[in-house]
């Protein structure tokens, strides 16, 4: 929670998240909630406790440091670190907290062996393969040499093989999902043939809802748990029906004024009133991670009505047109995200105005002070 000095509040409904988890369990056999980046801005500890109470016994954090927090919060759950260890402190933490790190290089396996030897404990690893993201992981053709390396280690125990899909949420790129899925099946086959009894994990949210063949033993839902529809705006949008957003972002109306025709609003005078207008000033701006890119593009919710942002978003203030909400008064709560009823602002809609994706909106707005309701 880094933005403590402003008025914006991020309100989290954990119940929506656990309902999403229950929905995902009707589609996938063994989903491990992905709680990286402070649970996509929803709060790692609160979210982990909620999913644990809802039945999750394996969860995935991003960095090893985050995984240690997760393990500390729900000690009875298995905890994966999707990023894996990158410095000496990480290697020590993995052993100390019995974390299952993703490991995608020979160097990592050797350093894990060394750290586990020093700590006098076995360490379980999830072998990370690159099947098409060109990011972290062993190459798809390295399964044999990885098995050779593991043969020489005594403390490192491979329990899982993993990879990540690049296009699971895009129906126009199904073929690439199939390519990656086939490569992954080849890897699993090669590891099993070497006597390594690893589980397979490939599916993210898009694949959970759209590609059952990629489910294997463990699935890794992220955005769908937080109510983002991985297929928003595509021909498969209906697959995400029933997911509920668990984050609302609110602030306050701090001034109401009437401006005459011809009067400009905010820095740079990018908006000028064509007629007399009642405008509202909201205590929210780019210092709250409400992006300046939303200038003259976004809408907010005042008294349940949609109002347009006028001119430039400032550091801690934003102007809106109160025309649709004439009864609004100073002190009213204003929604930048979420809200009640048909006018509620979805994360995808806000992301569209912002020129980004739901993931980034959650991560950034989630850095405001959070409140937990229900
Ligand atoms: C973030 C992440 C996920 C979750 O992806 P979503 O699209 O949010 O469901 C799964 N696996 C890995 C490795 C990730 O980094």
Q: Relative to the CA of 221, which ligand 1 atom is closest?
A: 9
Closest CA to 95 of 78, 114, 116, 75: 116
Ligand 1 centroid – CA 287 distance (Å): 27
Distances in whole angstroms, Cα of residue 24 to Cα of each of 20, 199, 210, 247, 319:
6, 20, 12, 18, 39
Ligand 1 centroid – CA 202 distance (Å): 10
Atom 4 in ligand 1: which residue has the minimum CA distance?
Answer: 222
Atom 1 in ligand 1: which residue has the minimum CA distance?
Answer: 222
Torsion of CA 137, 140, 143, 144, to 10 degrees: -130
Q: What is the DSSP string of 196-218?
A: ---EEE---HHHHHH-GGG--S-
Ligand 1 centroid – CA 160 distance (Å): 16
91 tagged catalytic: no
Sign of the torsion angle spanned by Cα atoms 152, 155, 158, 164? negative
User: Pocket around ligand 1: residues whose beta carbon is below 6 Å from it?
Assistant: 34, 36, 82, 164, 204-205, 220-224
Q: pTM (2 decimals)?
A: 0.96
Q: Give residue 84's pLDDT.
A: 97
| Rounded average pLDDT per 10-residue block, the chain, 374 residues | 89 98 98 98 98 98 98 98 97 98 98 97 98 97 97 98 98 98 98 97 98 98 98 97 97 98 98 98 98 98 98 98 98 97 96 98 98 92
d(CA 258, CA 355): 31
Tell the residue number behind the tokens 């690439």, with chain if given. Answer: 176
Which of 39, 82, 180, 215 maximizes ligand 1 atoms within 8 Å of its Cβ, making it the mutation to test the pocket? 82
Q: Give residue 265's pLDDT.
A: 98
36 tagged catalytic: yes
Q: Which two tokens stand for residue 287?
A: 């210092």
Work out whether strand 247-259 and strand 9-13 pair parallel, antiparallel, or are unpaired.
antiparallel
Annotated catalytic residue, options 36, 71, 91, 128: 36
Q: Give residue 2's pLDDT.
A: 83
Q: Give residue 1's pLDDT.
A: 56
Domains and CATH numbers, the chain: 31-240 (3.20.20.10), 247-372 (2.40.37.10)
Ligand 1 centroid – CA 220 distance (Å): 6
């Amino acid at each position: 929670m880094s933005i403590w000095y402003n008025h914006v509040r991020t309100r989290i409904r954990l119940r929506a998240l656990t309902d999403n988890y229950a929905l995902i369990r009707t589609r996938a056999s063994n989903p491990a909630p992905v709680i990286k980046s402070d649970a996509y801005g929803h709060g790692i500890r609160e979210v982990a406790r909620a999913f644990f109470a809802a039945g999750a016994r394996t969860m995935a954090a991003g960095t090893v440091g985050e995984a240690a927090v997760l393990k500390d919060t729900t000690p009875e759950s298995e905890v994966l670190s999707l990023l894996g260890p990158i410095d000496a402190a990480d290697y020590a933490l993995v052993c100390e907290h019995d974390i299952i790190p993703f490991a995608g290089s020979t160097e990592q396996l050797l350093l894990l062996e060394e750290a586990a030897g020093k700590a006098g404990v076995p360490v379980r690893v999830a072998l990370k393969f690159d099947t098409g993201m060109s990011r972290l992981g062993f190459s798809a053709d390295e399964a044999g040499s990885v098995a050779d390396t593991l043969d020489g280690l005594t403390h490192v125990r491979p329990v899982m093989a993993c990879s990540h899909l690049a296009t699971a949420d895009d129906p126009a790129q199904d073929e690439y999902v199939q390519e990656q899925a086939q490569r992954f099946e080849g890897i699993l086959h090669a590891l099993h043939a070497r006597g390594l009894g690893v589980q397979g994990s490939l599916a993210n949210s898009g694949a959970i809802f759209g590609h059952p063949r990629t489910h294997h033993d463990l699935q890794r839902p992220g955005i769908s748990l937080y109510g983002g529809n991985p297929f928003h705006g595509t021909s498969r949008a209906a697959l995400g029906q029933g997911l509920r957003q668990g984050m609302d972002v609110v602030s306050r109306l701090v001034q109401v004024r009437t401006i005459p025709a011809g009067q400009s609003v905010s820095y740079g005078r990018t908006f000028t009133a064509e007629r007399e207008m009642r405008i509202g000033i909201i205590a929210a701006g780019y210092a709250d991670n409400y992006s300046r890119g939303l200038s003259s593009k976004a809408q907010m919710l005042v008294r349940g009505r949609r109002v347009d942002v006028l001119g430039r978003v400032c550091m801690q203030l934003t102007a809106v047109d109160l025309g649709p909400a004439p009864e609004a008064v100073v002190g009213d709560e204003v929604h930048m995200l979420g809200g009640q009823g048909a006018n509620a602002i979805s994360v995808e809609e806000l992301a569209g105005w912002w020129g980004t994706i739901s993931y980034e909106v959650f991560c950034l707005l989630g850095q405001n002070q959070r409140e937990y309701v229900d």
